[in-house]
Structure 1
C-alpha cells in the first residue's frame, strides 16, 4: 500500500555518535527560553519552515529509550530527521495520494476527541467523588466469601469418579493430585489457595459454594476437563480500604463521565448509518482498497 516515514532511530544514533565538542560549540549561545514558542522557526528547507512545535511533537512520538538521550543530541537528531523528511516530501511528483488526506482527517478527529476527554476529566474524580463512590460500592456490602480449595483435574467423568472412590477409602488428596492431576496445580497437590467470586469458571465456583470445609465434590465438568474439588477453608473478607481501591474507583468515575458525555452527544447528534448494512465488511481487509 504505502510507507509511512517516521522518526528514524538511525538518525538519532548518528547524532549520538557526533562530536560532543561540536554540539557544545553549536549551542554556546542558545536563545533565551522565554523568547521561544511553538511557532519559532528552527530551519527552512527551500522556503518551507520547520518549527519548534513540530520538533516537540516529533519528540513526543519517539520510543522511550530515545527520550532519555541528552537534549542537545535529541534536538540535533530530530532536526536532521525533519529536514530529511522535508526534502523527500518536496521531491514527490504527481497528485497527492488520497490516503494522506484520510490519514490527516483521522488524526485530527482523534486528537480533538482526546482533547475533549482531557478537558472533561480535568475536574473529575475529586476526593468527594471518590469517597461517594466508595460508600456506594462498599458502604453497605456484606463481607464477601472467599474459598481455599484444591482440585484434581482429569479427562473423563469415569476417571474423576474413580478418584472420589479412592478418596472415600482414605487416599490422601494431595498425593492423588500430584500423581493423577493434569492441571498446572497438580505438582502442588492441587492447591489453588484463596479465591473469591468470579475468579473461577462458573461450574467450578458453583460447586465450591455448595461444599462445607473438608468436603469433596462429585465430578464437576468445565471446559478444562473433569474436576474433583476439596474445600479446605472458607472465610469472609472485609471490604477493602479506600486506599486499596482508590485507583479502581477513580477509573470507574472517569469512565462514567466519558461514557455519559458520549451518550449525551450521540443522542443529540444527527447520525445516519443506513449504508452500513449495504457494505461488505471484508472491503477493509483488501490490500488494494486504498490504491483505487
Structure 2
C-alpha cells in the first residue's frame, strides 16, 4: 500500500520530495515534537506530518479524515525518506542542477509563506462583511423566473405535447415521457435569469405569466413547450451561503494588491522583450436552454 500511495502523491515530482526532505532532515526537531516513526534512524515527527498535510492537502483522497488521513501521510513520509536516503547514497544532492532546484524550492516556499500570511491577515470578519455588503449593494435589480419545459426535435411533437398538457395531463409527467432534455427532471429548470438561456427561449419564457404555457418555441436545440411557474426579483444570496467564496476573494485580492505594490516599487529589467501575444479569437458563448441555476 505505501508504494501505491507514493505514486498517487508524487504529482509535485521526485525533485520536490527530495528537496523538502533534505530541508526537513537538516533542521533539528523542536523539543515538543513527537516522534512517530524512524527510518534507518531518521526520525519523522508529528510536525513533519503537519507540514506534509499543509503541502499535500488538496491532493489527498477526500474520503480520508482524521487519524486515517494522518496515517496516510505518515506512510508517504516513510516512503519518501527511503527514497531520499537512496538518493543521498547515490549523491544526487551534490549536483549543480539539484542545487538550482533546491534554491528554486526555497524561493517558492518563501513566496508561499508570505502570501499565506497576507491572506490570513486579510480575511477578517470585517473585511468579509464589507466585501459582501458592497457586492450586494452593486447588484442591479433583475427578475428571475422558475419554469418547466418540454424539449422535442420537431414542431409536430411539440404541438402534440402541448395538446396533452392543455388537455389536463401533468406537465412534469409529459416532460418525463417525451422531453429530450436529460438535465431537467420533470422538465424543471429551476430559477434562472434572462441571460442564462438562449434568446428565443428567454424571450418566450419572460413573456409568460405564472401558470401560463407557451406555444411551441424553436431554438437551436429543438422545439420547446414552456410553462412558467413563478417570477420574483433576483435574491442576493445570504452571507452564510457565500462566505467561502467571499473569503477566497478577499484573500486573493490582498495577495494581488501586494504583488502590484511590490512591482510598482521595484526596478525590473528584462533582457529580452516579451513576445507579442496574438489576441485569441473570441468564440460566442453557447447557452443551454435547460441550464440549471446552481
TM superposition score category, shorter chain reference = 0.5 to 0.7
Residue 216 of structure 1, CA deviation: 0.9
Aligned equivalent of 1:249: 246
5+ long unaligned stretches in structure 2: 7-28, 278-294
| Counterpart selection for 1:191 from 188, 192, 202 | 188
- Aligned partners of 2:139, 2:65: CA distance in 1, in Å? 48
**Alignment-derived partner of residue 109 in structure 2:** 111
Residue 273 (structure 2) pairs with residue 258 (structure 1): no
SS across alignment from 2:148? strand
Offset of residue 115 of structure 1: 1.2
Query: Is the CA contact (8 Å cut-off) linking 2:145 and 2:192 kept in structure 1?
Result: yes
Match of 1:89 in 2: 87
SS of the counterpart of 1:130?
helix
Residue 195 of structure 1: how far off its partner (Å):
0.9
Cα distance, 1:114 vs structure 2? 1.6
Cα distance in 2 between the residues matched to 1:160 and 1:119: 61
Q: How far apart, in 2, do the equivalents of 1:271 and 1:226 lie? A: 59
Q: Distance in 2 between matches of 1:148 and 1:161?
A: 20
Q: How far apart are residue 134 of structure 1 and its match?
A: 2.8
Give the superposition deviation at 1:170: 4.3
Corresponding residue pairs, total: 240
- The answer (yes or no) to whether the contact 2:5–2:76 under 8 Å persists in 1 is no
Q: Distance in 1 between matches of 2:111 and 2:66?
A: 26
Question: Is the 1:146–1:197 contact (alpha carbons within 8 Å) kept by the matching residues of 2?
Answer: yes
> TM-score when scaled to structure 1?
0.58
What does residue 68 of structure 1 align with?
A: 67
Whose radius of gyration is greater, 1 or 2? Answer: 1
Q: Does 1:201 align with 2:201?
A: no
Alignment of 1:57-206 (within 5 A): 57=51, 61=56, 63=60, 65=64, 68=67, 81=79, 84-92=82-90, 100=98, 103-139=101-137, 141=139, 144-156=142-154, 158-159=155-156, 162-163=159-160, 166=163, 170=167, 172=169, 173-184=171-182, 188=186, 190-192=187-189, 194-197=190-193, 200-203=196-199, 204-206=201-203
Segments of structure 1 that go 5 or more residues without pairing to the other structure are 1-6, 12-32, 279-292
CA separation in 2, counterparts of 1:181 and 1:70? 45
Deviations 1:213-247 (A, max 9, x none): 2141542424x444332212212354443333333
SS of the residue aligned with 2:244?
A: helix
